[in-house]
Structure 1
C-alpha cells in the first residue's frame, strides 16, 4: 500500500502552539486506510506520516512516529498480540482501531500493552481525541476496553487496600507525588512508599506496572479511574 501524499501543514499550530503528533496507520483495507488518513489530515496537530497494510512494512528510521493506530485484525496472518509486542519492543505506543466484536481479542490486546481500543464506528471527534490522548502516552479506556476487562475472570486481583486504591487513583490520574501528599494529608515520602508497594503488589499478581502509564492502565482495569477524586484540602 502506498503512502498518501502529505497535506500542506506547518509543524506547529501557531494559534494553539500544539506540537504535531506523528501517526502511522496500519490498515489492510486500502479504501478505509486512505479515507481515514485523509480525514485525520483535516486536523493541524495530526500528521499521518505512514500508511501500511502490515506492521512489517513500517520503517521507523525513515519515518519516526509518536503512535501507531493498528487494525485489530490484519489479513497477513499476524496476531494483534504479536503486532503490539513487536511495536512495544521498538518503543512505539499503540492504539487499536477495530470493527470487530471479539472481547477475547480485545482482552489480549489490552494485556499486550495497547494504550486504548476504539471502534471504527465511533464519531470522528472521539477517534481524534483518542489519538491525541494515546499519542501523549495516556490510556484510552473506552467501553469496549472496560467490558472486555470486566469479563476477564483471569485478571488477578492485586489486593490493594482502600488507602492504596485512593493513592493509585490520584497518582494514576496524573497527580504528582507532592500533590497526592497534599490531597491525602500524607508526606511525600509516605506517598512514594505507597506507590512502591502498589507496584510490588501488581508485579506479584502478574500485572507489572513499571511506569506511570502502566499504573494508569492497571487503575483503569480495576475500575479506579473515573470516579470522583477527594476534594482538595484547604
Structure 2
C-alpha cells in the first residue's frame, strides 16, 4: 500500500527516476487497482494516496501528477480540489466514472490535464497516466465534451451552507426537518431556499418547484444521479 501522512518523513527524496504519482480517492479498491496497473511500469511509482486533497497535500510528497476522483465523500467541489492542487504546483488527471457531466465540466475547466473513465482498459489507463505524468494533455472524449459543454449550465455560486440546504431539501426533506438537521431557524431555511431559487433563475436555470430543485442539485453534483432501473441502459 502507499504512504500516509504519518509516514511522511520516510518518503523518498525526489530526483531522477520514475515519475511520482499521488492519488486522491476514497475507495481503497480503486487505489489498489491503480497500484496493480502500475506495478510493472518502471517509469511510474505511486508514492502517496489519501481520501481528500488536503490530506494528500499534508503528506508533503514531491509529486509529478495527482490522480483525482471527482466525487469524494467529503463533499468537496472538483473545481476547488483542482485549484488547491494547482496552487501547490501539482498537475491533475481526473479518473472517474464520469457519471455526472457537470462535475466533469467543473474539473476540466479548472485546468486538469485530462479526464479518464475508470472503465477504460488497463493499457489505456497506463498510457494516459504516463502521458499526464510527463505533463502532456490527455485528450479523451469526456475531456473534450467537458470543455465544450453546455454553456447554459452555469455555476450559480451557492455558498457551502446553501448547498447543504439544497441537498437536504431537494432530497425530500421538509423545510422544518432541514432546519433541525442544519441547526438553522425555519425562517432562515426558507430564506436560503428563496435565495437559491433566485440564483438559479438569474443563471437561466429556473427552479420553481421542489422537483426543479432536485434536478438542479443533480446537475451540479450536490446530489447523486438517480439509479437506473435494473436492466435499463
Instruction: Compute the TM-score of the two structures, normalised by the length of structure 2.
Output: 0.56
Q: CA deviation at 1:109?
A: 0.7
For 1:106, the equivalent position in structure 2 comes to 104
- Could you tell me which of 28, 39, 51 is aligned with 1:30? 28
- Could you tell me which of 68, 74, 78 is aligned with 1:76? 74
For 1:66, the equivalent position in structure 2 comes to 64
SS at 1:34 equivalent = helix
CA contact (8 A) 2:23 2:50 kept: yes
For 1:138, the equivalent position in structure 2 comes to 136
CA contact (8 A) 1:2 1:52 kept: no
Structure-2 change in CA distance of 1:56 and 1:95 (3 Å): same
Backbone CA RMSD of aligned residues: 2.7
Structure-2 change in CA distance of 1:153 and 1:28 (3 Å): same
2:153 is equivalent to residue 151 of structure 1: no
Q: Aligned equivalents of 1:146 and 1:62: distance in 2?
A: 32
Q: CA deviation at 1:119?
A: 0.5
Structure 1 runs not aligned, ≥5 long:
6-10, 13-17, 156-234
Instruction: Compute the TM-score of the two structures, normalised by the length of structure 1.
Output: 0.56
- Could you tell me which of 39, 42, 53 is aligned with 1:41? 39
For 1:197, the equivalent position in structure 2 comes to none
For 2:55, the equivalent position in structure 1 comes to 57
